[in-house]
Structure 1
């Protein structure tokens, strides 16, 4: 895999009673990113602009095998979200508007790592301040740029 990659992340949130939330809940981001592999773990780093505010959020994605997927946010938002198959992980999610206690109940993590492409699919339930708010899916694709 090259250092310079194109990262595509799409996410969908379904409301707590199982129906699809309004269309504003679907998210897709395509952005250039930096990739590296250290000690058998995949890392992807990218900057995320925040709409309506000056500054960015630096995101570091860490993939450990097919059991652990982490998103570490720093800057305008700060959090260390751990998605670990069949486990519940809690984190403080700091935003410019205040802090939230976020619970992540990971059901599925699938990783397909190839020489020039890594695909990741994560399915989880999301709690905020001890209240279930959504069932969520993240689909991520990391593609090497031409050498």
Structure 2
């Protein structure tokens, strides 16, 4: 895959109450690297109109997926199949302790595209708050439309 890629991130938090779902979806240009058996993605996203961009790093490896955000929000999330990982989620409004327990993890790759999907349970301050999924697809910019997981 080429260094300059188009990245699509889709996610959904299914809260314990049926009416509260928070879908997200962004498509942004980014960079791709492959080093030491792991795939790396880097992209920037604007959290609001006035702030500096938040830089996102995603590492895909046989051990799992790591997502780091640095900027207006700061977090390092680790998704490993069957394991719960704790992290701190820092925002301008305060810091929360999060627990992330991956219940499903898939990574698919070919020479022009890489796709990842993770299903996980999200805890805040030791209390379950949502069942979530996250999909990330990256492909060389010069290719046509993505072929995506549908969820």
* Structures share fold, TM-score greater than 0.5: yes
Match for 1:101 among 97, 102, 110?
97
Match of 2:6 in 1: 6
For residues 3 and 26 of structure 1, do their structure 2 counterparts lie closer, same or farther at Cα, with a shift above 3 Å needed?
same
Whole-angstrom distance in 2 between the partners of 1:2 and 1:30: 17
Any runs of at least 4 consecutive aligned residues in structure 1 with deviations exceeding 4 A, and if so which? none
Match of 2:42 in 1: 45
Match of 1:145 in 2: 141
Whole-angstrom distance in 1 between the partners of 2:103 and 2:37: 23
Gap regions ≥5 residues in structure 2: 144-151
Shift of 1:133: 0.7
Gap regions ≥5 residues in structure 1: none
- Return the TM-score normalized by structure 2: 0.89
1:50-92 deviations in whole A, cap 9, x for unaligned? Answer: 1143211110000012x41000111111111000110000001
Whole-angstrom distance in 2 between the partners of 1:79 and 1:98: 12
Aligned length: 143
- Which structure dedicates a bigger proportion of its chain to strand? 1
